[in-house]
Amino acid sequence: MKSYDVRFWKIQTRKGRRKPYEVRWVVADRPFSQSFVTGALADSFRAQLITAARNGEAFDSETGLPDSMHREKQAVTWFEHAVDYVAAKWPKAAGNSRRSIIEGVLAVTPVLVRDLRGAPDTDTLREAIRWAVIPSRDQEQQPEEVIQALVWLRKASLPITALTEHNVASRVLAACATRLDGAPAAPEYHRRRRRILYNCLQYAVNQGRLRENPLALQTLRKEWTQPDVDSAVDPRAVANPRQVADALVVCSYVGRRQGPRFVAFYGCMYYAMMRPAEVTRLRRADCHLPESGWGKLILEASAPEVGKDYTDNGELHDDRSLKGRSKKTVRPIPIPPELVTLLRQHIERFGVAADGRLFRSESGRPIPKSAYTKLWKKVRALVLPPEQLTSPLMARPYDLRHAGVTWRLSAGIPAAQVAEWAGHSVEVLQRIYHRCMSGYDEVWIDRMDRARKGK
């Protein structure tokens, strides 16, 4: 029951007690008291009570506390809330989304703690957080240092209501803008973390743990504006068809078995504009490979590498639908004779896995990112002249996909068609590749002239 009938007594001093300074007050004729070690603490507590009464707050007749202090006393800690939030989001989240959620929790939890003795080092604390929030980890297998760190964290974690304080919220946003090694985070990384934090705090509002989302407050929105993200492809990274063809030939000679296994893998990224996760999931049934001419790939799923902690089956890769598309949605891609030949040769030499996958390690496992990334560095070092090795040209395997999209756009294929083949929206395609299409004025003028003259 709430009451505005509140009276306060002077602080009493009781000598010989461990907490000799006693604050006494009455709510609706019911007496309450609380003792403190020092007079300063007692004065501070009594002042809070009086301020709340003067501000017109109702007092709880069961606890004797005003609404603001009652909520703070009853509030769950940030750490408890983070565990609840992860558990609620985990079942329906994709592997990459799960990883982003954990990264967000790891970034902000270490700054939402009190300064208590026995604090573990940051690396140990983050490992303890992983053990506590990742559902796939067996809690009975926790190392001793993790157990001790979690004991400390549960005591030290601030109440979630602390995020309503401006200085605390600003500290958390600063953590979102910082990588785990202390360096400034990339804009896209910062935006992703902030998005996770906002969603986590909105969940607290929905659960009645916060009245409003602190990140929605105008003061914080002005102080911490979203960083601009330049997602456009660097034209210097885009190779021309001859450079890509040369790189694929060189790849076939790297190592006795390693290079040949990846020629068609890289070829799919260029000639079919496929993402690595889509190439990893490519199956024989998805391929229409005639003996001559153009073929077709019909993509139906992808297998992004997310980590064993973030998949339901404990595998490194997550079996998902195509990016940005619903399940059972397919994406047909016409492929040129060059890729048809590469895929036919790959199947003839290496066969397919039991489930029909074309690309796998010698042990039959899906291809990890580290494998095709390391090999590409070797290929690039062999195919490029020394003066180009320090340039962004073909710096990453993903640049092959960018080169494939640019090749089609520069050939005059409408952006809407290229976007459909590449699995983009037209808006995203134009935002990402607009720089790659500059410098073609003579080509477009020539085409306009021929159209104007009826040729």
- Write out the DSSP string of 359-410: ---TTSPPPPHHHHHHHHHHHHHHHS-HHHHTS-TT-STHHHHHHHHHHHHH
Q: Give CA–CA dist 24/229, Å, rounded.
A: 56
How do the domains of the chain map onto residue ranges?
2-74, 78-223, 235-442
pLDDT exceeds cutoff 90 at 357: yes
pLDDT exceeds cutoff 60 at 72: no
| pLDDT at residue 9, as a whole number | 92
pLDDT exceeds cutoff 80 at 37: no
Q: Give CA–CA dist 147/311, Å, rounded.
A: 24
Average pLDDT of the chain to the nearest whole number: 87
Q: 372: pLDDT confidence band, cut at 50, 70 and 90?
A: very high
pLDDT exceeds cutoff 60 at 74: no
| pLDDT at residue 445, as a whole number | 73
| pLDDT at residue 323, as a whole number | 77
Name the percent of the chain lying above pLDDT 90: 49
The conformational region for residue 408 under phi > 0 = left, psi -120 to 50 = alpha, else beta, is alpha
Q: Give CA–CA dist 33/31, Å, rounded.
A: 7
Q: What topology is assigned to 235-442 in CATH?
A: hpI Integrase; Chain A (1.10.443)
Residues 6+ apart with CB under 8 A from 241: 407
Residues 6+ apart with CB under 8 A from 78: 108, 109, 112, 157, 158, 159, 160, 162, 163
pLDDT exceeds cutoff 80 at 31: yes
Average pLDDT of the segment spanning 55-72: 80
Average pLDDT of the segment spanning 105-118: 91
pLDDT digit string, tens, across residues 390-438:
999 999 999 999 999 999 988 888 999 999 999 988 888 888 888 776 5
Give the lowest-confidence range in 94-103, 170-179, 352-361, 401-410: 170-179
Average pLDDT of the segment spanning 309-320: 85
- CA nearest neighbour of 91 among 302, 311, 306: 311
Average pLDDT of the segment spanning 336-356: 95
pLDDT exceeds cutoff 90 at 40: no
| pLDDT at residue 102, as a whole number | 94
| pLDDT at residue 219, as a whole number | 55
Tell me the longest C-alpha to C-alpha distance in the chain.
106
Average pLDDT of the segment spanning 260-270: 96
pLDDT digit string, tens, across residues 275-285:
999 999 999 99
* Tokens 């003066």 belong to residue: 387
pLDDT digit string, tens, across residues 189-199:
888 888 999 99
pLDDT exceeds cutoff 80 at 163: yes
Average pLDDT of the segment spanning 187-212: 87
Sheet architecture: strand order including 287-288:
287-288, 295-299, 331-335
Average pLDDT of the segment spanning 137-149: 87
